[in-house]
Structure 1
Amino acid sequence: MVGAVIEEREARDGSPVTGKGPGPFRRFWSRWPLWSAPAAIAWSVLYGAAHVYWAFGGAGFPFARVPEDRASSSVLDPSPVEVVAPVFAAFCAVAAAVGAVMLHQQRTGRAVSPGRRRALLVFGWLTAGLLAFGVPDYTLIAVVAFAPALVVFAFTGIPGPQGGLEDILYWHRDNLIIVFLGGLLWALATLAHQRRTADRCTSCGRGERAAASWTSPERTLRWGRKAVWIAVLATIPYDLTRLAWYFGLPLGITDEFLKEMQDTEGMLEIGLGLGIMSTLGSLLTHGLVSRWGEVWPRWVWFKAGGPVHPLTAIIPASIVSLALLPGSMMNFRSGFDPEMWGTNTPMFFWGLWGLALGAATYSYHLRRRGECGTCGRG
């Protein structure tokens, strides 16, 4: 049984086996099946307590109506504190209880009835989806896109009328990042519980049965390539509109709006930069199904010929794929404007982009993974 193998190896070594000389991050990450449930519980308790505070009149309710330059585009913004805060507090209390049940099973190893297992998994996945993709807006992908600039701005200040980083990452947006992180914790906790109760390795998902044929290297490369091309094609509408605007073509917008952007210092340059970053990102996506995604190519001269560690590709690709989804859903909620479709319709495809990029990343993971350090399979 997988559980017995894991317990035997951990009892012998004191921690999950992670290979030769793993660094601190890899050691920490290798234990995610153990810490994800306690972390999800802690998040639920703390965030639920915050909503209790807001329900009783505390300051800082993150979904309150605020000036437009301090608002978010969350589905909950704005909303009445007397309704949302108690509901969120109750939801977090139920989530903490569900997490406690998962944690109890993790520590005792007792079998779970099919009905209870199904109910826990449904709640866990719905909670993860709601928190990670339902409540947040485009903040996450904006932070990812502007991350290099934000690091510079932290030292130099932000050009223009803004006062500082607090004018970009204000509380209404910070709260959505916290909610998104809660969704990720719940996804990890639920995945670990799903694997554990199916008697599979919680780290790699392998079980006693032979792996499905679609996970073979040949099959994963085949569907991984299709996913890469879908991801690349999904970026084209956004890239084309931003490029057209920079060169004075009102593609998908009115002439008045183009003039307004031209009169706003740096606006078109930012759009062009984001379009270029999107294009470069789509080119890098090919590395997930190419040789240069496994062995550093010559144009990376300081590492040329050396092996690419899988996490070097998996971590950034996973972050981008997850961040794209709530941004896409937010733009769908904004609707379609025939005269101004260029402002948000290209972002409808971000959902397809995120799903395809996630599939391509998973294909890369399946091909690059070796023997599991926890159960020894592979």
Structure 2
Amino acid sequence: MSSTEEMASRSGTSARSPSATVGDSAGGSSGVRSGWAAYVAAGWSLLYGLLGLYWCFGGAGFPFGTVDDPLGAKVSILASARRDGGAPVIAALGLVGALSAMLMARTRMRSLPGAALLGLAWTAAVTLTLLIPDYRPLAAVGRTPVLLVGRSLFDWPKGVEFFGPGMFEWPVLNQFLLIGGGLAWAATAVAYRRRVRGACGRCGRIGDVLTGWTTPAGAARWGRWAVGVAVAIPLLYALTRWAFALAIPLGYATEDIRREARESPGIWWAGAGLATFGMAGTVLTLGLVQRWGEIYPRWIPYLRGKPVRPRTAIIPASLVTVLVTEAGLLFNRALILGHAPTDGVADLVLSAPSQLWTLWGLALGAATLAYYLRRRGRCGSCGRH
């Protein structure tokens, strides 16, 4: 018996040659499983296209061009969109997207046609996930725990509702809908690329031996740097917001801080609350490179000593990556277009941490990828480790 057969028999699976593995992953069960994303993207595109058609005929609820915040109204990508011009474009793009996704689900085109389909998929993914949404989804998610705690303990803040302005109103819920569609398109692009390359549809691996940055050891090295950046930036943001809440003159004069608090009651404490929950997120970010991010620590009842499922960390970290990155891109656009405050030390202290959010999101995404590469283990489909 060969060494390969011995290893296969010990693991309870039969030995498979590289060519057989590739064939299974490209057209077998794993290939079928990897095609679900394209069908989801096709369904999402068709339904959103039909929604655009509904708006074409005068339907209510066109969600674009309704940014109440002054900054968002100036720099959000579709802040000036109107139903008459935007709805037909949405309907047409929805139909094109549905047809393209079905092609990606049913075919494996190479050369120029395949590259065109892949480029369309990634364009849709980036546009829907990062470019069209602005900071409001992050603001709504970040304010939710502040609102829950404030309402239950202090009957504060007043006049803020979960489905009202500044929270989960329809234009913001629509942005979450766009994010979902963008993620479906990203998954479609990844799955299609794997099928074209003949890689495993589940894990994306081709060769039997991993080398370079994708190995667990390599991912551990660069993942630590990514975590360091992803922790430092929100800590800097928290430092400035708590300084303002405590009337510490960090760039601002104390009287200016107090005057702003009188004119907008609770503004600094709301910022401090958001920053505090951001700091709690940095603790979870550290878990991407710490032992307790893989094994539940002893102080957690019922779970102590049990392994942490990778998706338990990967899913929320990926969501925060998207929300932080799209908000950071809006603040970056505001700076480029001259709408960010830059008139002095106070403005710099106020806006500089937000200008780093794009880097924060990218670093958190890289840290999450490193965690995945370290934790994915042996593939249940192709058997590669």
**TM-score in terms of structure 2 length:** 0.82
* Cα distance in structure 2, aligned partners of 1:292 and 1:31: 35
1:352/1:161 Cα in 2 relative to 1: closer, same or farther (>3 Å)?
Answer: same
Other structure's SS at 1:269 match: helix
Q: Which moved more, 1:56-65 or 1:320-329?
A: 56-65
Which residue number corresponds to residue 138 of structure 2? 141
Cα pair 2:45 2:95 within 8 Å, conserved: yes
Q: Could you tell me which runs of 5 or more consecutive residues in structure 1 were left unpaired when the two chains were aligned.
A: 11-15, 17-29, 106-110
Which residue number corresponds to residue 102 of structure 1? 104
1:151/1:3 Cα in 2 relative to 1: closer, same or farther (>3 Å)?
Answer: farther
Other structure's SS at 2:164 match: helix
Deviation at 1:302, TM superposition (A): 4.0
Deviations 1:112-147 (A, max 9, x none): 222111111111101100010010011232233234
Which amino acid in 1 is paired with 2:97? A
Deviation at 1:9, TM superposition (A): 6.8
Task: Tell me if 1:130 matches 2:89.
Answer: no
Q: Could you tell me which runs of 5 or more consecutive residues in structure 2 were left unpaired when the two chains were aligned.
A: 1-18
The aligned runs of 1:336-375 (5 Å cut-off) are 336-339=340-343, 340-375=347-382
Cα pair 1:125 1:190 within 8 Å, conserved: yes
Cα pair 1:63 1:79 within 8 Å, conserved: yes
Which residue number corresponds to residue 43 of structure 1? 44
The aligned runs of 1:42-121 (5 Å cut-off) are 42-65=43-66, 74-105=76-107, 111-121=108-118
* Cα distance in structure 2, aligned partners of 1:78 and 1:343: 27
Cα pair 1:262 1:268 within 8 Å, conserved: no
* Cα distance in structure 2, aligned partners of 1:8 and 1:87: 36
* Cα distance in structure 2, aligned partners of 1:135 and 1:8: 35
Which amino acid in 2 is paired with 1:355? L
* Cα distance in structure 2, aligned partners of 1:322 and 1:311: 16
Deviation at 1:67, TM superposition (A): 5.5
* Cα distance in structure 2, aligned partners of 1:63 and 1:8: 41
Deviations 1:193-252 (A, max 9, x none): 011111011211111353232122221111011111111222233112101101113545
Which amino acid in 1 is paired with 2:103? V
* Cα distance in structure 2, aligned partners of 1:31 and 1:8: 7
Cα pair 2:151 2:157 within 8 Å, conserved: no
Which residue number corresponds to residue 261 of structure 1? 261
Which residue number corresponds to residue 227 of structure 1? 226
* Cα distance in structure 2, aligned partners of 1:368 and 1:306: 15
Q: How many residue pairs were aligned?
A: 354
Which residue number corresponds to residue 24 of structure 1? none
The Cα RMSD (Å) is 2.9
Cα pair 2:55 2:83 within 8 Å, conserved: yes
Other structure's SS at 1:289 match: coil
The aligned runs of 1:207-222 (5 Å cut-off) are 207-208=206-207, 210-222=209-221
Cα pair 1:158 1:164 within 8 Å, conserved: no
* Cα distance in structure 1, aligned partners of 2:232 and 2:146: 27
Deviations 1:68-117 (A, max 9, x none): 59x87732013222222222222222211211210221xxxxx5222111
**TM-score in terms of structure 1 length:** 0.84
1:342/1:61 Cα in 2 relative to 1: closer, same or farther (>3 Å)?
Answer: farther
Which amino acid in 2 is paired with 1:357? L
Percent of pairs identical after alignment?
Answer: 37
